[in-house]
Amino acid sequence: MTTPGPPPLTGIKVLEFAGLAPGPFAGMLLADAGASVIRIDRASDTRSLPTSDSLTRHKASIAVDLKSPHGTSFIKELVAQGADVLIDPFRPGVLEKLGLGPDVLLRINPRLIYGRLTGYRRDGKYANMAGHDINYIAVSGALSLLGRADDTPHPPTNILADFAGGGANLFQGILLALLARQTSGKGQVVEANMVDGSAYLATFTRFGLKSGMGARGRGRNLLDGGCPYYETYETKDGKYFSVGALEPQFFRELIKGLGLLDQGLEEKRFDFDEWPGMRALFKDTFKQKTRAEWEAIFDGTDACAAPVLDYDELENDTAREGDQRPSVTLRGTPCLAIKQRPEGQADPVMHGQGQGVAGDGYEGGTLAPGDGGDDMLEKWLGWKRGREYDVQKGAYVLTRGVSKL
């Protein structure tokens, strides 16, 4: 097997201002792909305890007093010395007021990718309002599509706006800007927001409202809980099984496994009036066996029926596919490992390069302000504490030997 090359973002330097989940998630995606990420934490007179941020994989931290000219000068110097990416997770105008807006920093370093992430649109009616994931998907329209027919709309925790529409979308924008920089030689501002990100993710479902695919109202359609053969069912032992037998050949395999052949179900698949009765029949049938018994029936078939697994069993049952891996496999330049493993064991292409991190992808690590910062600054710039910079009252400040922008 050919030895894999370095991770794809090796050599890319990222400054990530500490923030809530979406910003750190974008930074973690960059770090997992090999970028060198420094989180900029708030300074404290004493060494602070780790923050609540658990998305710290492969990152380091420095603590900076952003309200002090010493702190803003430190950030500007890092930008001037060749930072490639900056992640701004704050509400509009915060970094501008500190003198660290894109106009200032792009003059200092025209190659900088200035990534900005907000919840609401910067130019919309909600721009100056506080909000959370549930609010962003609410005004995007996506929340109106989620939930059962006879209940209120339900958010899928904070996956859709914070992480998919927010952090992952910003990550994609940063990659596009890095690619564009190879041609133009210039950086740019990348603006992502969770309203547009969530709305974009809902493109197919939104189109379905006009095409008939989702025209029957929330929770009454083929893919949103209305259809009995695209549904989850409780088993005899209180666990659950998922069913997604949409195509006729898959549906036939499903009812064969359920022992329901020759009951006319195949002819009734698209008769909406028959769906409630079919759902009741499937519900009663799945309750007759344990999840393990249903697995024995459906494993290896094309019934599109699979167990609903929880993370506890994925983490602890070696027979399950619970070993956490990078989100995508790059055959020549794989990302970093996110599951700790002894060197030489497991395929570094499929599982990621390197030793991985503690927690095996199931438990996030903590990062106190200043953790790993000295080492990272030396790797980035050859700086050493007491020479180019020092730490005063918990804050990193420049000393002689650098330009002090």
Q: What is the DSSP secondary-structure string of 135-181? A: HHHHHHSGGGG-S-TTS-----TTIIIIIIIIIHHHHHHHHHHHHHH
Per-residue pLDDT, 401: 62
- CA 60, 64, 70, 72 dihedral sign is positive
Q: Which helix (H) or strand (E) holds 73?
A: helix 69-80
* Per-residue pLDDT at 46: 44
**Rounded Cα distance, 140 and 130, in Å:** 15
Q: Are 61 and 370 in contact (CB under 8 A)?
A: yes
Q: Name the nearest CA neighbour of 169 among 146, 139, 190, 148.
A: 190
Q: Encoding tokens for residue 110?
A: 């025209």
Report the alpha-carbon distance of residue 351 to residue 73 in Å, rounded: 40
Q: Are strands 188-193 and 113-118 parallel, antiparallel or unpaired?
A: parallel
Determine the pLDDT at residue 37.
98
pLDDT tens for the 405 residues of the chain, in order: 578 999 999 999 999 999 989 999 999 999 999 999 999 999 864 455 556 789 999 999 999 999 999 999 999 999 999 999 999 999 999 999 999 999 999 999 999 999 999 999 999 999 999 999 999 999 999 999 999 999 999 999 999 999 999 999 999 999 999 999 999 999 999 999 999 999 999 999 999 999 888 899 999 999 999 999 999 999 999 999 999 999 999 999 999 999 999 999 999 999 999 999 999 999 999 999 999 999 999 999 999 999 999 999 999 998 899 999 999 999 999 999 999 887 778 889 999 999 899 899 999 988 999 999 999 999 999 999 999 999 999 999 999 666 656
Whether residue 116 contacts residue 191, with contact meaning beta carbons closer than 8 Å, is answered with yes
Non-local CB neighbours of 69 within 8 Å, separated by 6+ positions: none
Residues 74, 80, 82, 83: is their CA dihedral positive or negative?
A: positive
Query: Which whole-number Å values give the CA distances from 121 to 134, 159, 190, in the listed order?
Result: 15, 19, 13
Among this protein's residues, is 162 annotated catalytic? yes
Domains of the chain: 13-204+372-398 (3.40.50.10540), 242-316 (3.30.1540.10), 325-358 (no CATH)
Q: Which of 292, 324, 323, 327 is nearest to 307 (CA)?
A: 292
pLDDT value at position 403? Answer: 65
Among 162, 196, 224, 371, the active-site one is 162
